[in-house]
Amino acid sequence: MIEFSFIYRLADKFHNNKVLRYLFLDTYRKYKSRVSQYKKKSFHKNGRDVLARFCTALDKTRCMYWLEFGTLIGAIREKGFIAHDDDIDVGMFLKNRPDQLEKILKKHGFKRTRYIMVDDGKEAFEETYVSQGISIDIFYFHIAEDKNTMYCYEFITDPERMSREFIDEIGGYWTMQDIFPYKGFCDYDFLDIRVKIPSNYDEHLRSFYGNYIQPDPNWNIYKAQGSKVLKDKIGKVFFS
């Protein structure tokens, strides 16, 4: 797909002309919507093969990882990917991240397209790798001192504002900490791929989504339970 970010930049140049600014931003939103539809179509066609290749790459490192967020819901509730999903979510403990992860995944056809972190990334960190137009987001977790919970960080914008505008204004994303009950992991067969999932997957998902068994078309990240937004921690985004 052609990158139409220049439309957004034009809107920014005409910030004093409300009519032109609106037209440019409206065009940009429509473009983003078409990109989203294209990504979903590609995702449901190739997502399984991309995940299988990703798992093959990480299994060779013996690094522990697991299905997370929307991908975990799909595995449990749908026995496949969620209909409206267009990417894959994976969890990994930051302390176990292979030093050569980027090179390892590159050998298997993945390119790191961006990463987001607070300060030096030793606490809040997220990476995105892409293959065949499909994104895999890696969320890095930590085990809490009580050993009964684990947590990770996501990066979000103000829901009332356009993402590009928000990021340009504050220099990045707000950081959101997600906290989950921790009871280890178990093996799971997903689309004929052997993966790991949280052993307490039902409790894990309910602590974040509530009643995830009943699909909610209006659910969004701002409704997440057990999470807190850290507006003073700005996640800087870097593109590869």
Distance CA(166)–CA(85), nearest Å, equals 24
Residue 92 lies in a domain: yes
Is 56 exposed, middle or buried (CB count within 10 Å of its CB: 0-12, 13-18, 19+)?
exposed
Query: Could you read off the pLDDT of 193-216 as tens digits, one per residue?
Result: 999 999 999 999 999 999 999 999
Residue with tokens 């798992």: 55
Distance CA(96)–CA(106), nearest Å, equals 19
pLDDT at residue 6 tops 70: no
Instruction: Name the E strands within 18-133.
Output: 65-67, 87-93, 111-117, 125-131
Average pLDDT over residues 33-53: 82
Residues 14 and 24 sit within 8 Å (Cβ to Cβ):
yes
Residue 71 lies in a domain: yes
When divided into structural domains, the chain yields a total of 1
Residue 39 lies in a domain: no
Query: Could you read off the pLDDT of 11-25 as tens digits, one per residue?
Result: 555 555 566 656 656
Q: For residue 189, what pLDDT is reported?
A: 98
Residue with tokens 């829901």: 159
What's the sign of the alpha-carbon dihedral 9, 10, 15, 19? negative
Task: Give me the domain span that covers residue 98.
Answer: 47-239
Residue 85 lies in a domain: yes
Residue 128 lies in a domain: yes
Q: For residue 107, what pLDDT is reported?
A: 97
pLDDT level of residue 34 (50, 70, 90 thresholds)? low
What pTM was computed for the model? 0.86
Average pLDDT over residues 45-60: 97
Residue 126 lies in a domain: yes
184 by DSSP, 3-state: which? Answer: coil
Residue with the larger pLDDT of the pair 27 and 52 = 52
Residue 65 lies in a domain: yes
Query: Could you read off the pLDDT of 123-151 as tens digits, one per residue?
Result: 999 999 999 999 999 999 999 999 999 99
Q: For residue 44, what pLDDT is reported?
A: 86
Average pLDDT over residues 145-164: 92
Distance CA(21)–CA(165), nearest Å, equals 12
132 by DSSP, 3-state: which? Answer: coil
Residues 224 and 208 sit within 8 Å (Cβ to Cβ):
yes
Distance CA(185)–CA(64), nearest Å, equals 10
Which CATH number characterizes residue 190's domain? 3.30.460
Residue with the larger pLDDT of the pair 109 and 169 = 109
Query: Could you read off the pLDDT of 78-100 as tens digits, one per residue?
Result: 999 998 889 999 999 999 999 99
pLDDT level of residue 161 (50, 70, 90 thresholds)? confident
Tokens of 148: 């009964």
Distance CA(177)–CA(110), nearest Å, equals 27
CA neighbor of 200 nearest in space, from 184, 223, 213, 218: 184
Residue 190 lies in a domain: yes
Distance CA(134)–CA(141), nearest Å, equals 22
